[in-house]
Amino acid sequence: MTYETGQALTNPTVTEGSIKSGNYTDTHIKNDTYLIFNDSGGSPSNRYKLDLIFDGVSPADQWEDYEQIDQNLMLLITIVLEARDTISTDNYYVLMWNFDTSQWIEVESVMSIGAIKTEFTRQMSINCASYLNDNNEFKLRIANGKALGKGGAPNNDGQLEIDYLMIGINNSSEGPLSPGTMADDGTVGTVAWSNPDNAKTSNNTRATALLASNVISHYLKATNFSFSIPEGATIDGIVVEIERQQGGGDFVALIEDQEVKIVKADASIGAENKADTATTWPGSDTIATYGANNDLWSETWAAANINDSDFGVVLAAEQQAGGFPGATSEARVDHIQITVHYTEVTGTNTQINIADAWKESPEWQINIGDVWKTVAGIQINIADAWKTIF
């Protein structure tokens, strides 16, 4: 899944610093309408920074599904900032608040912003348990070096003007990966694929099947993608990309998908057919995309299923009726790729060694009176303050 502020999120709460003019909603699109920091009054530590709290329990039409983020997930946060400083060139920083350590953490590197509007992208992997509070709120700071007490030039008394600010939170993904094994599979259809191995890479050397009117090809089967999804991860979605074209033969432009189905870890074919039977294949290599980052193809997946060498996808093509009798056209596939989107759970599992093999345990337990009890939490005392670590 992808969660991002987009254009719908309303103004966040400003907890430190202030806005001179403009509005947070002015930053939803790039239109030269600016949110400007307050550059007068107060100490430098307050004048040149803006602390924002984003509310994770806002209505679904403002930040759809954000409130459903599990506190134990590892996510990638992406911050895109397009801004200028109309008074001087200055160093600016983006920071996020770590609720566990009560510290502001810098997101990647410094941004040198001057009079010419410039776009910056900053990313950081976060553990939601540390960067989201119990209300699923997170805190973001944008500040210049002076506000943060950083010495050295430039760190001047500038005026930051933000035209665009996008905050995206994404789960992890692996891919796109190419198949290690390609095969012709006669489970369906009547025409075999020639040179199926040619679809392992995008190099203009293609797997082909010559089809006449109303004739369906065998499956072109791609497996052995060598995924390495972490054990215990939640599979969120599967995206298949097939680079294909039609041509050759009498070049009757009527080649279409007949079946596009997932191949499961037990080598069986999934039930859901994602074939686009309404679109004919083009005359030059074009990538068709099937699935999405939140589409499981009507299956239930574990990481081990995706990592299995039998996991993959099958494609069957068909020439539709409509050409002159006996006319043929060639279905051509240059490359097949798969990307898997997943969410990795961290910080909740412990490990137990059984027969010299480490096994994941989803919870801590303690034995009292020969009865196993689940441990609800573990705390550690730091500077006379209890901190929850589990």
Q: Report long-range pairs for 189-195 (Cβ below 8 Å, ≥24 apart).
A: 189/215, 189/216, 189/217, 189/218, 189/219, 189/258, 189/316, 190/215, 190/216, 190/217, 190/218, 191/215, 191/216, 191/217, 191/218, 192/217, 192/218, 193/217, 193/218, 193/220, 193/333
Number of folded domains in the chain?
A: 3
CA dist., res. 133 & res. 148, Å (int): 23
Of 311, 328, 344, the position where a domain reaches its end is 344
Please tell me whether residues 337 and 356 are part of one structural domain: no
pLDDT tens across the length of the chain (390 residues) = 333 433 334 456 676 667 778 877 777 777 888 888 765 555 555 556 777 766 554 433 333 344 444 444 556 677 788 888 877 788 888 888 888 888 888 887 788 888 888 888 877 766 666 777 777 677 888 888 877 877 655 555 667 888 888 776 665 778 889 999 999 999 999 999 999 999 999 999 999 999 998 999 999 999 999 999 988 888 888 999 999 999 976 666 789 999 999 999 999 999 999 999 999 999 999 999 999 877 899 999 999 999 999 999 999 999 987 656 678 899 999 999 998 988 765 444 455 566 666 555 555 667 677 776 766 666 777 777 776 655
Please give the pLDDT value at position 59. 35
Coil vs helix vs strand at 196: helix
pLDDT number for residue 96: 86
Let me know whether 308 and 375 are in one domain.
no
Task: Write the single-letter amino acid at 146.
Answer: K
Same domain, 305 and 206: yes
**Predicted pLDDT of residue 111:** 86
Give the range of the structural domain holding residue 241, as residue numbers without chain letter.
174-344
Q: With a threshold of 0.85, does the pTM exceed it? A: no
133 and 183 co-located in one domain: no
Q: Are 239 and 342 in contact (CB under 8 A)?
A: no
Q: Do 146 and 49 form a contact (C-beta atoms < 8 A)?
A: no
Same domain, residue pair 277 and 164: no
CA distance 210 to 332: 9
Pair (333, 378) in one structural domain? no
Say how many C-beta atoms besides its own lie within 10 A of residue 134's C-beta. Answer: 7
Do 299 and 182 belong together in one domain? yes
Is residue 83 domain-shared with residue 202, that is, in the same domain? Answer: no
Check whether residue 214 and residue 190 sit in a common domain: yes
Pair 166, 5: CB distance under 8 Å: yes
Residues 6 or more apart whose Cβ sits within 8 Å of residue 162: 22, 27, 34, 35, 36, 81, 82, 83, 142
- The pLDDT value recorded for residue 264 is 98
**Strand-strand pairing, 90-98 and 312-319:** unpaired
* Residue 249 structure tokens: 């033969």
Residues 282 and 380 in one domain: no
Same domain assignment for residues 218 and 147: no
| Residue at a domain's end among 124, 147, 170 | 170
Same-domain status, 308 and 368: no
pLDDT at position 290 is 95
Q: Are 189 and 217 in contact (CB under 8 A)?
A: yes
Residues in Cβ contact with 382 at an 8 Å cutoff, skipping those fewer than 6 apart: none
Q: What is the DSSP letter of 11?
A: P
pLDDT at 171: 59
Strand, helix or coil for residue 158 = coil
- Residue 286 has a CB neighbour count (10 Å cut-off) of 12
The CATH number linked to 243 is: 2.60.120
What is the C-alpha separation between 48 and 18, in angstroms, rounded?
A: 9
Say what the pLDDT of residue 304 is: 94
Contact assessment for residue 309 and residue 179, using Cβ atoms and an 8 Å cutoff: no
CATH of the domain at 163: 2.60.120.260
Q: How high is the pLDDT of residue 240?
A: 96
What is d(CA 215, CA 325) in angstroms, rounded to the nearest whole number?
13
